[in-house]
Amino acid sequence: MALAGCGNGDSLESFGGPTMGSTYSVKYVRHPGLAARNDVQVEVERILAEIDRQMSTYRSDSDIERFNDLPADSCQAMPAPILHLIGVGQQLSQRSQGSFDLTVEPLLDLWGFGPQGRGEAVPSDAALAQARQRVGYTHLRIDGDRLCKDAAVEVDFNSIAAGYAVDRIAARLEEMGIDNYLAEATGELKAVGRKPDGTPWRIALEEPRDDRQVAERVIAIDGYGVSTSGDYRNYFQRDGQRYSHTFDARTGKPVEHGLASVTVIHPAALMADGLSTLLLILGPERGWDYAEKHDIAAFFVIRADTGFVTRSNRAFDRLFAGQKQ
């Protein structure tokens, strides 16, 4: 739907559709002379289709699934985007002392959260120990244009692929002359510029509730990616214990702390995506210290006996100083 602008010929265009097991959406200001909405949508969906062919763990013919099927001591030529994301993942793993890890797919499957999961269940110690033998970012290495592994590890890009997709979409929009837009994929997003009426793009940070969506805080964004990671959508309960789909690779188990969600604001949506996952894994204390040390703008929602407690760190507060809460 195109909405009327402010008399200068500008209009607000929007489109969206399915992607990565969820949805994507794009809103942008179209100036006179820019490409038609359908042409922009074709370009965006071309990018999403490429990422799906390369990185999806839900299709057996993707580049990464063909690599995952290889035995130990194997290499496979890979497209540049995969090698780039492997490098980003290695960096985040090193920074978190191995808590963040792109090779946790065997654990996701074992606990019932992955593409090969066979029902949510708490695994036995023996099964967990066996799966952990196939987990570890140090088993991966890049050799020229090849990705290699010295153990039968499997790579899962779910913690960073959506942010990467948003950055790719944003770059293509700007190449097409679009300088005011809001691009989103599976909840990760980036906003640049303003709407036709001159008002900023405003983003609601969601309270982690199971029953309905509630805005915890609304912020105006210009030039930043936004990613929220939380344990309140994908989890199961057994014997009064809550098990989320967020794993600490060092233990092989879902995290067991009170951090319900964390939002990261970063110029790159890819880094916002990865860092929000990293901070969620680290938890309310270690994650907070990490964000403060590395000047990462972060907004924490922590479970407490009385409900939820929110904390925003210094980098976050600097970005949104003066904005009404």
Residue length, the chain?
325
CB count in 10 Å sphere of residue 68: 22
Question: What is the C-alpha to C-alpha distance for residues 281 and 200, in angstroms, rounded to an integer?
Answer: 32
Q: Is 277 annotated as a binding residue?
A: yes
- β-partners of residue 3 are 12
Tokens representing residue 183 in the block:
């691009």
Question: What is the C-alpha to C-alpha distance for residues 131 and 137, in angstroms, rounded to an integer?
Answer: 14
Q: Counting Cβ atoms within 10 Å, is residue 161 exposed (0-12), middle (13-18) or buried (19+)?
A: buried
Question: What is the C-alpha to C-alpha distance for residues 226 and 172, in angstroms, rounded to an integer?
Answer: 18
Q: Is 159 annotated as a binding residue?
A: yes
Question: What is the C-alpha to C-alpha distance for residues 246 and 229, in angstroms, rounded to an integer?
Answer: 9
Question: What is the C-alpha to C-alpha distance for residues 311 and 297, in angstroms, rounded to an integer?
Answer: 11
Question: What is the C-alpha to C-alpha distance for residues 128 and 137, in angstroms, rounded to an integer?
Answer: 17
Phi, psi of 129, deg, nearest 5: -60, -40
Helix (H) or strand (E) holding 37: helix 37-55
Detail the residues annotated as belonging to a binding site for Mg(2+): 159, 273, 277
Detail the residues annotated as belonging to a binding site: 159, 273, 277
